[in-house]
Structure 1
Amino acid sequence: MAIHRLDHVGIVVEDLAAAVAFFVELGLEVEGEATVGGPWADDLLGLDGVRADMVVVRTPDGHGRVELSTFRSPRTTDTAPNVPVHAPGIPRLTFVVDEVEDVVARLRAHGGELVGAIARYEDLCRYCYVRGPENVIIGLVEELH
């Protein structure tokens, strides 16, 4: 048995519009929107009364997709942890960008916070981490040619 491809990464957010704006500012494009619920969603998630709004954004090359969703029901009071970038189990999404400083500046206007500093790795790349909506951590890599 083989894996065919990575289909998408899913992130649950509280403020769907803010999360979409953050990823669109990063350069992803809205692929589609939907509201889901019903018995199949309850079965999938192991919850009762699921009702969620979601937006799928994709990278310009069409190969990477992020599903952003917010739940109308059932409600939860739990939130994503605001832990250091090296904590076990904390996912990071990494994107290759043209100019890392420009992207960081644009994301700051959407609540993005630089985790450390923009670091140069030899003559290969400049790399940093940005904490975005719901404490999602994204990596930004500027390849040096």
Structure 2
Amino acid sequence: MGKSKLLRMDNIGIVVESLDEVVSFFIELGLTLEGRGMVEGEWAGRVTGLGSQRVEIAMMVTHDGYSRLELSRFITPPTVADHRNAPVNALGYLRVMFAVEDLDETLARLRKFDTQLVGEVVQYEDSYRLCYLRGPEGLLIGLAEPLGTN
């Protein structure tokens, strides 16, 4: 029997405390709110292994429709760990990287969310201008501006 073929990466999940603030941040970055609602009950807990749960989610999508972020705010059970201040060399999922048209303009728009550069904006050869920043709730976001013919 042949290998199952992967269809796509459907989404990346991020757990947050303030869904409204984080949704606003990602809208300012350029994503669109695709939908928002509650995920709850025994069936959901069977998937996550958390038992009965109640989670408010917001699904954000890029303008091309191919990439999604699922933002989740756990009502029950409460969150039990916080990895938001982990350094960039910590094990596990770390950050989401977005390609942007104009890095300087994007950073200027995101300042109203009290974002902080992790290091500095750097240029990688003639390919990209890159940076990491901490957004709302300390979320680590990467931004990359393609240069030249990329």
* Fold match by TM threshold 0.5: yes
Aligned to 2:114: 111
Deviation at 1:134, TM superposition (A): 3.3
Identical counterparts, % of pairs: 44
Aligned to 2:9: 6
Q: Which amino acid aligns with 1:112?
A: T
Deviation at 1:99, TM superposition (A): 1.0
Using structure 2 for the length normalisation, give the TM-score: 0.90
Aligned to 1:71: 74
Using structure 1 for the length normalisation, give the TM-score: 0.93
Output the CA distance in 2 between the equivalents of 1:57 and 1:81: 20
Output the CA distance in 2 between the equivalents of 1:2 and 1:136: 32
Deviation at 1:80, TM superposition (A): 2.4
Deviation at 1:87, TM superposition (A): 1.9
CA RMSD in angstroms, aligned pairs only = 1.3
The 3-state SS of whatever aligns with 2:113 is: coil
Answer yes or no: is the 8 Å Cα contact 1:13–1:133 preserved in 2: no
Deviation at 1:33, TM superposition (A): 0.8
Deviation at 1:90, TM superposition (A): 3.9
Q: Which amino acid aligns with 2:140?
A: I
Aligned to 1:19: 22
Q: Please, which runs of 5 or more residues in structure 2 have no aligned partner?
A: none
Task: State the aligned residue count.
Answer: 145
Answer yes or no: is the 8 Å Cα contact 2:84–2:139 preserved in 1: no
Output the CA distance in 2 between the equivalents of 1:113 and 1:86: 18
Q: Please, which runs of 5 or more residues in structure 1 have no aligned partner?
A: none
Output the CA distance in 1 between the equivalents of 2:28 and 2:100: 12
After the TM superposition, list the runs of 4 or more consecutive aligned residues in structure 1 that deviate by more than 6 angstroms: none
Deviation at 1:79, TM superposition (A): 2.1
Answer yes or no: is the 8 Å Cα contact 2:59–2:71 preserved in 1: yes
